[in-house]
Structure 1
Amino acid sequence: MITRDDIFQKINVYSWGAEVEFTLNGQGGFKDFNGVNESLLWNQEYILTLKPREIHPQLQSGGITGYTLKIEATDTASSAESVGIRLAYALLCLAINKHWGMSLSWPDSPLPCRVIDRTKPKGITGQGFAFVTNHVEISEFVSVLESSFDKLADVPYQLLLSMELCASSRLESNNRSKLIMLVSSFEALAIQRNYSTELSPLIRDLKSLVKEAEIEDESLKNSILGQIEGLKHESIRRAIRRLMNDIGLGDDDCQFVDKAYKARSKIVHEGQRVPELDIMTTRIDLILRHAFSVVASHDITLS
C-alpha cells in the first residue's frame, strides 16, 4: 500500500498529480482556512493540498474567492487524470449539497483538472488580469434611454426576454454558461410556427401506425406518439435559421449561428467540451446586437 511518506519522498516513482481550480461565491467558503497552502487530513492514500488562487479583481470585488486543490501522487499520468476527475466530482458533490455557487476553471481540454508532472522544475510564473470598461456620462445615459424609449410603443415579450438573456450572459465568467444563455437568447427571438393544418393528415397517419405497432412498452409507445405530436411545430433550429434570414445575415454568419447552436447542444445534451468558446461567444453577442437593432427598427415582426 502506498503511504504519504512514499509519495513525499519518492517523487521519481510517484511523479504525477492533478490540480482542480475552482471559484466560490460568497455563500461558500471555509471557516478555518489559514489563507496559505494547507495540507488537508483525510482517509485516502493521496496527499491533498488546498491553496488560495489569484482571480480577476472584478470577481474578487463581487465576493468571489479562488482556490486550487492539488492531489498527489500517482505513478502514471493516466492515473493522475483519473483521480483528478474524481476530485472534481467530489468538489461538485460538496457544492450541490451545501448550496454553494461554484465554478470549475477548466483548461481548454476535456478535463476538469490539470495533470501535473512533479519532477519538472517550477521555474518562474506570472499572471495578469485586464478588463475594459464602458462607463458613460449621466447625460449620455439619459440620451440613450430616451432614444430607445421612443423606438417601440409596444415591446414584444420575446424581445425583452432575449435582450435580458444576452445582457445577463455578460455577468457570467464561465464561457459555457455564457454560450448557453446567448443561444437561448436566439431561441427566445425565434418564434416556432405551427403547421397543424398542413401536417394534420400526415400526423394522424403516423399515429395510427404507432398505435397498431406491436410495442410492448406502453411508455415507449406514448413517447413516440408525443414526438409525432411535436411535428406540428417547427423545430427551434429551423426557426432560428428563418430568423437569421429575416434580419439579413449573410451565409457566413448564418452558418456560425448554426455552429453555436450545435455547440450548445453538445454541451447540454451530450456533456461534451467545446474549445475556444470565448471566440464563439464574442461573435454571437455581436450578431444578437444586430438582431435587436433590426427588430427595434420595425424591419421585421417576431412571428
Structure 2
Amino acid sequence: MKSQTTRNTTPSFFEGEKWLVLTGLLGFLLSCICAGWVILYGGPVSPNGDVLNAFSFNAALGIFLLSTAAIAPFSGMGPKRRAAFRWSYIILALYSYFAETVQNFRGVNPRFVKGGAPFDVMVGSIFTFVALLLIVGYLFFAVQYFRQRSTKLRPTLVLAIRYAMVAVVISFVAGVWISFNHGRIVGLHGNIIWLHGLGFHALQAVPAVALLAERSNLAEKVRSRPIHLAGITYLLGLVAIAAQTYQGFSILEFSLLPLLALGCFLVSIASGALVLRRSLTHRVVAANRLR
C-alpha cells in the first residue's frame, strides 16, 4: 500500500504537459520547413532577413520548451500556477515562432528592424516585450526548484535542475547582452551566441547526470557528488566563455580561457560517464547473481 501511494504521488517526466510538448514539437516542424527553404533557395532574404536564423531559433526554442515540459512536473507548483505558467509560455512561444519565421521570410530582421514598415516596427517591438516576458516567466518557474516542496518530490533530480536553472539565467543575461549590443558580435571575434546557447543546454546535460546517479547503486548521500561536480564545472565553463567573449575574442582560439572552458565541460561530461559506468557495472553484477 505504501509503495502504491509513493508511485501515485511521484510525478513522471512530461506529466500533464501535452500542450507544451506539442508547442515544442511545432518548433521542430517550423525548423524543418526553414531548412528545406535554405536548401532550395539559400538563407538570406532581401533586404535584412535570413531564413537560417529562423531555422536555428525555432529548433532552439523547440528544444527549450521540450526540456521545460520534461522537468515541469517536478517544480512543486500547484495545478493553477502550473497552468498559468504553461499557457502563458505557450502563447509567448507561438508569437516568437511567428515573429522569427514570418519576418525573416519577408526579409525583415525581427529583433533589429531597420527601415521597416510600421507593421514591422510593431512586430519587432512586441517581440522585444515578449522576450522580456519569457525571461520573467522563467525566473518565476526557476525559483520553484529552490523550495522545499520541489525537493521532496525527487531530491537528486531537483538538485541537478537547480544548477541547470542557474545556467539558464546566464543564458538569459547573454540574450539581454545581445539586445543591448545590437547583435551577437563583440569586438573582432567575440560571439555571444555561444554563451546564450550553451547555457540552455544545461537543462539536458546536468539532469542527465542525476538520472544516471538515480539508476546507480550509489548511496543516497553519495549521489549528490557527481551532480555537484557536473553542475559546478558546467557553470565554470560558461563563466570562462563569458570572459573570453567579453574581451572580444573567439572561444575557438587556442588560449587560456577557451581551454579552461573545454576542460570544465569535459569534467562535467566525465562525471556523467563515471556514474554511467558504475550503473552498468551494478546491473551486470546483479544480472550474474540472478543466474
Greater C-alpha radius of gyration: 1
Q: Which has the higher contact order (CA 8 A, sep 6+)?
A: 1
Q: What TM-score do you get using the length of structure 1 for normalisation? A: 0.27
Which structure is higher in strand share? 1
Q: What TM-score do you get using the length of structure 2 for normalisation? A: 0.28
Which structure is higher in helix share? 2
